A and B are shown apart, each in its own frame.
Chain A
């Protein structure tokens, strides 16, 4: 009986520590600041164990019976702690309150375990042996748990299932105790039946854990995914972390709501404010409506035409309340005309002229997208420029993809356009580059719309300065029959990710 008893100690010690680690990890993932989370949770937990130990003295009779009950309660509370916390984070404002409450409850129950167990077995051993053996196996259990947790449990099972698994261990200990302490227990059958019911309950949780995991835990490693859809054209994912909404197209970050104003103000205003009396604007790409939001700051405009391939994308950004909050319902303006079409054929067949043209496509990660960065494309776009017209091209990062950036500049030059490259700092992207291109000289604007948060008249000239680590590189132009840009882009990003 001795060794079985001490294995019980080892198991319950492991369970206690696992619940504590899960709470700490969850809080760090969800709230950040892991030092604060782990410190407060360990503190609360140890303190609660102290309360449990103190309370143990008020238990006089039915020690074994109460031990079984404690194990059952721990199994349920600890086992479901992780799932409960995830759901609380997703659906309530009371995540932290619930978390500390759970930590305290678990701590108290764990605090009760060892004193009661020691009292149950005190008759069988000498006091010094009881203390030595119980505490030895207690600490061994802690060691086992602390090693298992990062190496096996989190990577293999995830937080929800790890908690449930150790809930099962607690209940198994309860069931086992009904055999171990059979002589001291009344109504053994009833207790065993209860143990089995709770076991089934936890097992059901384990089976269903995948659904909770799928809904929440996978995303906890990054941010919470609030929208995911495969359209005909791309894979759209929206994530939210606190107040930061991010859009990913085919897993490439398109914007972060925390700093996208920097990107979109820089994309639009240095160019559009420099066009005298603009009336008509064309946006190619930009299905998130954020560039259009900036363009709508020019009340003199008569029409804004947006050509984006994916109708689901423009529909999403016209209807989803969180997203129309970001683009200030720009797609609902009566000036905006949305055309869902492949940009190159549209540019080729349409004959309208525009005073300002925004080219805001995803980076040239493949040859299909690369066609939209070629001399042939820019020549076709330039035919739509009015006499005073300007165009601006999002041109990837002159810092991380320096060759690619200057390749785009060269491509515009070879398309018989004057080029004015500039760059800004967008925290979620890093240094980001744009190019203004036109048939005539460009002069930076002296007046901007009111209320901009980033672009200012005084700040614009410095955007056109390139420090040595981003200065021009000699690159050939990107052409339909020789897409050097896609290869350069691929190489640029390989260089920084290895």
Chain B
């Protein structure tokens, strides 16, 4: 009888404390010094870092970036142990199409795209994805085995519809490029309702649609705008077999960005108050009061009413709570198979499965590895699930994760030596029906002036490309204002 390993671990990178202080309007210490900057960027996730990247590339250096957490990167943060670096959240970028010019520019800067050719060290290795169903693994996540003629017909019809939507040009990345009022009606209904209206009632197809919505938006198809559900499929037509990925996920991009703009970044500096009077913004963080002409607010937009003096309350911004875990495996499960697969999904599991951090290793032989386990708490009310995240201890989540994995890897407890868990109360903007064309969101997204918003939640789609696009756009607006002023 083989015994289970003792499993170490705990919660990591919690940021509830500072968030709740802001929410509860706790009195922060008074500033003891004043610092002048032309621009302050609030938030060091992809949006903020991308704004910094653009400014630095344009030779503009009179700015700082203030990040609440000790580690910048936001949803692209990563961790590292003696085996491999691993992601804490976002772990890939689909190969960008021609419209995503800023993403392509970044990848050219980083050497990922050279003379129109993608470096295949960064394209996801074969085998990419697999799905566990009917007691076996199949290649790819879209269910392909055990389908009835009816299932097959519905998948085919869905594909046809998606092709039409793609051809319409209304679903693009960045989403603003193609956003068309002609398709606004799709934003008014849940994705599940649209599927019903198309007579797509196949259970396995609906499982897959729900999986996709949970994976990209942390929500069920019934809580997702049909526009967003369709966007997931219709916005991409990759020119190369991808996606782009790294052992530490999008943390690799953060590392490369920090190599370029790290000197502007001040981490562990939570901003707790922002005022705007005349043409001066005052930003309070720690014991410093920054005086700046411009603020790029790249933090999640729901924080704005708590931070910015006189900011109207925000309606209709919903966020999905998530949980991720990194599991250290001393060996692979006995039934694993000869090859590491990147993304491993189990049908009918409430979780999203796991991603193998050693998958992008060029080694032929791997013994120890790290799995990143993804779990969007999509069922039920987000507020209730956030409470659950706060209340339950580490052992609860550890057991829940192991039980989920035991269904496919019975000896998982003999393999895992450590489980670190990260809780995200507001992991990503949830594009619920009406969110994409929401007036307030559109207004904040297109706002121009001294105070600019840049978080990806203004797109309603929490993806790397949107965050980067909004960060770059905000930087360009600042540069334009400054250019106008100087001429």
Contacts and interface: CB of A to CB of B under 8 A. Distances in A.
A278 interface: no
A368 interface: yes
Interface in B259-286: none
Contacts of B380: none
Interface stretch (B56-64, B116-124, B248-256, B427-435): B116-124
A480 B364 contact: no
A158 B372 CA distance: 50
Given A367-B339, A481-B126, A376 B363 contact: no
Interface residues of A, number: 26
A481 B123 contact: yes
A481 B125 contact: yes
A345 B340 CA distance: 17
Interface in B89-130: 120-121, 123-128
Interface of B: 120-121, 123-128, 240-242, 338-340, 361-367
A358 B254 CA distance: 39
B367 A344 contact: no
B121 A366 contact: no
Given A375-B120, A481-B242, A482-B241, A367 B365 contact: no
13 contacts: A309-B364, A342-B364, A344-B363, A348-B362, A365-B338, A366-B339, A367-B125, A376-B121, A480-B126, A481-B123, A481-B125, A481-B242, A482-B241
A179 interface: no
A370 interface: yes
B338 A480 contact: no
Contacts of A367: 125-127, 338-339
B120 A481 contact: yes
A293 interface: no
Given A376-B120, A486-B126, A371 B338 contact: no
Interface string A373-391: 0111100000000000000
B362 A345 contact: yes
A284 to B, nearest CB: 11
B364 A483 contact: no
The 3 closest A-B pairs by CB, nearest first: A481-B123, A483-B126, A367-B339
Given A309-B364, A374-B120, 7 more contacts: A342-B363, A342-B365, A368-B364, A368-B366, A371-B125, A376-B362, A481-B242
Contact of A368 (B121, B240, B242, B340): B340
A455 interface: no
B472 to A, nearest CB: 27
A366 B363 contact: no
B357 to A, nearest CB: 16
Interface in A316-349: 342-345, 348
Contacts of B128: 481
Contacts of B241: 481-482
Contacts of A148: none
A131 B325 CA distance: 86
A287 to B, nearest CB: 13
A482 B126 contact: yes
Contact of A480 (B123, B340, B367): B123
Contacts of A377: 362
A344 B127 contact: no
Contacts of B364: 309, 342-344, 368-369, 371-372
A345 B126 contact: no
Contacts of B125: 367, 371, 480-481, 483
